[in-house]
Structure 1
Amino acid sequence: MPPSPTSRRLPNLLFDFGGVLINIDYQRPIEAMRRLTSAGSTIEYNQKAQSELFDLLETGCITPAEFREGLRTGYQLTATDEELDAAWNSILLDVPADRLALLAELHEQGHQMALLSNTNVIHIEEVNRRLKVAYGFENGIADVLDRVFYSQEVGLRKPGPEIFAHVLREMNWQAEETLFIEDSFQHIETAQRLGLHTLFLAPPLTLTDALPAAIRAFPPSA
């Protein structure tokens, strides 16, 4: 027997950023930085793993200037700060309007929504600039969510369980009442171990394709 409407609950929605709200291409910065070196160096960065240099930037342990110098010395890159930033930001594509419209609809329905992203100040500033130009957002993606949690500000990153615990504590959410939407399976695995419900956006699934059905299938209150 299906649950009565009064027993249904609106799940809290915890979104990843890259690959969920914004389209990204991991190969583009690799190719862009390879063009900046005569040594043929390839940066150690992809969806599943990355070198310590990128971890340090994403947890706020080094500055953008130190990151750029690390790229130059670690991968034999000869480039200006502007060229390095352009290569690094080439991973960022667009934020489709239909995804933002879905967020607005979900907010209107009463969902609490937050963002949890492994990211860095260089990418954040660029995304915020683009969102202001394209949509008039004054505070980046925070304009359409209740709260944003960036790894470089928290000092922790996925897939570590500590950053999930931090978000749940800060939002006063229970794991079993929260749906985590993510495109990297190693992060999905951590969330599942902690008791969160998950939606794995494996290509070619997109947020607008899959999220409404996942919300409808969310289990009722006990």
Structure 2
Amino acid sequence: MKPRIHQVLFDFDGVLAHYRHEVRIAHLAAHARCEHEHVRTILFVSGLETEYDTGAIDTATYLRRLGEGVGAMIDAEAWIASRMAGSTAIDDVLARIATLHADVAMGVLTNNGALMTQAIPRIVAPLASKLEGRVLTSGGLQRRKPAPSTFAHALDVLGWSPATTLFVDDLFTNVQGARDAGLHAETVTDARSLGKAFKRYAFGPPSGW
């Protein structure tokens, strides 16, 4: 018998949107009027992005250090604009999600910094109203996937039960972490595999998958 699912928790990059790392860096470089490789060094080689993604530093500190490094003010809007430039919603995946029954709650759990709580609803605008208040980041939670404790904490924040929650991610290691935490979890890489995952479960009244 199929388990009855009432909530779906999505990974972001690779599931709801394609992420082009180099485009994001180029956008920041153009904003700061500096070399592409300099932005890469400040953000990634220095470990700044990792500090932010793990919640070791807050948003204000992250943006200040990024701006000082590239020699230009980087505020939240400039950062979000660069992330949006490097991210493209996967339309057929969003269309597949739209077939879910209206009573199915949705959220996002992503290994990214806290500013993604603002960027994600703008990148996947058709889902924004369904995700409101339910976009969780590793930076905000100060813990990362695939640790089972990350999923347990995320569900505590959301007020969801693992027994009625499906998690989907493009990386199996994260899927395994979710399963170890008691969630139903499936590996998803495109709309077709998402549709197959959905068909394994019961989501309220049938909605024409």
* Global fold match (TM > 0.5): yes
Query: Percent same amino acid among aligned pairs?
Result: 25
2:97 match: secondary structure: helix
The change in CA–CA distance for 1:211 and 1:87 in structure 2 (over 3 A counts) is: closer
Q: Cα deviations across residues 136-170 of structure 1 (Å, max 9, x unaligned)? A: xxxx73x1248614124333332332220013334
Report the CA distance between 1:70 and its aligned residue.
2.6
**Cα distance between partner residues in 2 of 1:147 and 1:125:** 10
Q: Please identify, of 208-217 and 80-89, the stretch whose mean Cα deviation from structure 2 is larger.
A: 80-89
Q: Is the contact made by 1:116 and 1:150 (CA closer than 8 Å) also made in structure 2?
A: yes
The change in CA–CA distance for 1:29 and 1:94 in structure 2 (over 3 A counts) is: closer
Report the CA distance between 1:194 and its aligned residue.
2.8
Q: Is the contact made by 1:30 and 1:42 (CA closer than 8 Å) also made in structure 2?
A: yes
Residue 16 of structure 2 is matched in structure 1 by: 21
Please say which structure displays the higher CA radius of gyration. 1
**What is the identity, as a one-letter code, of the residue corresponding to 2:59?**
P
**What is the identity, as a one-letter code, of the residue corresponding to 2:162?**
Q
Unaligned 5+ runs, structure 2 = 203-209
Counterparts of 1:2-81 in structure 2 under 5 Å? 7-11=1-5, 12-32=7-27, 36-37=34-35, 40=38, 42-43=40-41, 52-71=47-66, 76-81=69-74
Q: Is the contact made by 2:9 and 2:107 (CA closer than 8 Å) also made in structure 1?
A: yes
Q: Cα deviations across residues 62-83 of structure 1 (Å, max 9, x unaligned)? A: 343321333356xx52333269
Q: Find 1:190's aligned residue among 164, 173, 177.
A: 177
TM-score (norm 1): 0.65
Report the CA distance between 1:8 and its aligned residue.
2.9
Residue 174 of structure 1 is matched in structure 2 by: 162
Report the CA distance between 1:88 and its aligned residue.
4.4
RMSD of the TM alignment (CA)?
Answer: 3.8
The change in CA–CA distance for 1:128 and 1:167 in structure 2 (over 3 A counts) is: closer
**Cα distance between partner residues in 2 of 1:145 and 1:86:** 17
Q: Is the contact made by 1:114 and 1:149 (CA closer than 8 Å) also made in structure 2?
A: yes
2:64 match: secondary structure: helix
The change in CA–CA distance for 1:13 and 1:122 in structure 2 (over 3 A counts) is: closer
Counterparts of 1:51-200 in structure 2 under 5 Å? 52-71=47-66, 76-81=69-74, 85=79, 88-89=82-83, 92-108=86-102, 110-129=103-122, 135=126, 141=128, 143-145=129-131, 148-151=134-137, 152-169=139-156, 170-175=158-163, 177-200=164-187
Q: Is the contact made by 2:22 and 2:86 (CA closer than 8 Å) also made in structure 1?
A: no
Report the CA distance between 1:90 and its aligned residue.
5.3
Unaligned 5+ runs, structure 1 = 1-6
The change in CA–CA distance for 1:157 and 1:217 in structure 2 (over 3 A counts) is: same
The change in CA–CA distance for 1:185 and 1:28 in structure 2 (over 3 A counts) is: farther
2:57 match: secondary structure: coil
The change in CA–CA distance for 1:57 and 1:38 in structure 2 (over 3 A counts) is: closer
TM-score (norm 2): 0.68
